[in-house]
Chains A and B, each alone.
Chain A
Amino acid sequence: MAKAKGYSDPKMEEKLKDRYYYREYSNPDFTKKVHDLARTVNHMCFQCGTCTGSCPSAPRSSYRIRLFMRRNVMGLEDESLTDPDLWLCTTCYCCTDRCPRDIAPTDVIMAMRNIAYQRGIVPVNFLKTVQAIYQSGHGVPNNDVNRAVRVRLGLAKDPPTTHSYPEFLPGIRQIIDHWHVKEKADKIVAEAEKHG
């Protein structure tokens, strides 16, 4: 982000590096896109920090929700989407309940994640859940140990969901395929596995 000054001493370079943001870093469409997806007044943030102060992820990581809110207002798309902290929000909605500007920071994070995914930036665990649901209709599918216990409890060995009625799976796959999510998930997961 920062522009290099060209000092030969790397320590000096780091110390005196340019800390300004320039217009070319900002993409106003990003702010708007987040607004449309999140359906919240993201631009109203006045940086009070109540959100970070409420956040269970903040004390144990470098994740700062307030920083993401600022980046969003400034249209700093790349900086937001390539920061691995984006995926540390537990979606607990504490910040949303407490924000004095009636913003839903949680939904801003979810919108940013959606945009990151569109650009192929997404941790594989999210995609694996998609693959599991595509396969069986369940994010957490049944197994044989559990089937035996269900029978002992007087329940059917599989719940009356897509597990017992797989004829509904094509419909679910159709929904997922409509937005090409499985296709994209397979590609990104295969790519990630190739690179270990």
Chain B
Amino acid sequence: MAEAKGHDYALFLGCIAPNRYPGCESAGIACSKKLGINLHPMKGASCCPAPGAFGSIDLNVWYAMAARNVVIAEKMGMDIALECNGCYKSIYEVNEKLKHNDDLRDMVNEVLKTVPDPTDPTKKGTMEFKGTIDVFHLIELYSDPKICGPDRIKESVTRPLTGTRIGVHYGCHLIKPKKERHLGDTENPMWIEELVAALGAEPVQYRKKMQCCGAGGGVRGYDLVHAIDITNEKLGYLHDAKVDAVTEVCPFCQLQFDRGQIEIKEKFGKMWGLPVLHFNELLGLAQGMSPTDLALDMHAIPVDPFLKKIL
């Protein structure tokens, strides 16, 4: 899908970025554009749907709803780009599963037949999963030298994040399970650190870097104290490593680390006050966007201590 003007993708938004951290969405679109990645809205897309909730209850509904979202992009004739690990789990994984399992694809298509067409909601019988597109997380497009790569990111930086120490939280569903993904090592990956370094910041290693944020699998809703206890452990290790901020590539992890710190204060009496930034927000700052344009005021934990170091 490479063109002289850049690379075009259908942008799958999901829920938490557009509805809780809209700065992730606006930064994703604006920053990608500067990197030659054009994102096009997917009209009528829904929740991915939430892999923890739907996957736990009825995998068939999960396959079919995710497939409906994939088909919207198939009809646009574009690969999908997205910015949330949870969405990646649903959209990437269902796309691959349906491509490789005829029984699942047939089952899903049987249901999709009755669903309205995204180009014309009065039309039915035209929705069919064909398996014609691929699904990418924006961060892997940023990292891929054929699309963008760290050098190009570096060139786009107008306000280097010099003097800041940043810990990377990869999250789970972007890279795990590794044999169903294609993004390499899951014990100590370093490719997002390379992108953080391209922004001028110092990426910092910390204990249990690959541990889950604690929110997934419906655990945040099922047992909040259990979920934030996992988060609290990671925050402690990030604190030990003296980071100025933690960056992630998943608005759900972001919610867990950001609002989670308020909940940790309530339940455990400890206030870490660690700024949490989606990589898109970090990239936006480095490309010169203002904190207001990034809606950083929507964060539960003030980002100001981090901003003071770079503004």
Contact = CB atoms under 8 A, between A and B. Distances in A.
A161 interface: yes
B273 interface: no
A45 interface: no
Given A129-B53, A153-B26, A160-B43, A37 B59 contact: yes
Most-contacted residue by chain A among B44, B56, B172, B222 (CB, 10 A): B56
B68 A172 contact: yes
Contact of B216 (A90, A111, A153): A90
Given A91-B51, A133-B50, A142 B18 contact: yes
A50 interface: no
B214 A179 contact: no
A151 to B, nearest CB: 10
B58 A97 contact: no
Contact of B47 (A89, A92, A137, A154): A137
Contact of B116 (A90, A150, A170): A170
Interface in A101-139: 104, 106, 110-111, 113-114, 117, 122-123, 125-130, 133, 137-139
A185 B26 CA distance: 35
Given A150-B18, A160-B41, A87 B218 contact: yes
Contacts of B192: none
A141 B101 CA distance: 32
A125 B216 contact: no
Interface stretch (B73-81, B193-201, B262-270, B292-300): B292-300
Most-contacted residue by chain B among A91, A104, A179 (CB, 10 A): A91
Contacts of B50: 129, 133, 139
A56 interface: yes
B216 A92 contact: yes
Nearest to A151: B22
A88 interface: yes
A139 B49 contact: yes
Nearest to B59: A114
Nearest to B210: A94
A94 B64 CA distance: 26
B46 A178 contact: no
B226 A88 contact: yes
A89 B61 contact: no
Given A90-B219, A126-B53, A172-B65, A139 B47 contact: yes
A159 B13 contact: yes
B65 A138 contact: no
B229 A60 contact: yes
B211 interface: yes
Given A91-B217, A139-B53, A161 B18 contact: yes
Contacts of B127: 171
B18 A90 contact: no
A167 B44 CA distance: 8
B68 A175 contact: yes
Interface of B: 13, 15-16, 18-20, 22-23, 25-26, 41-47, 49-61, 64-65, 68, 101, 111-112, 114-116, 118, 121, 127, 172-173, 176-178, 186-187, 210-212, 214-219, 221-223, 226-227, 229-230, 292-293, 295, 297-298
Given A94-B172, A122-B56, 20 more contacts: A39-B101, A87-B219, A93-B177, A110-B56, A111-B59, A113-B57, A117-B57, A126-B52, A127-B57, A129-B218, A129-B221, A137-B46, A140-B15, A152-B295, A153-B295, A159-B18, A167-B44, A170-B116, A178-B61, A178-B111
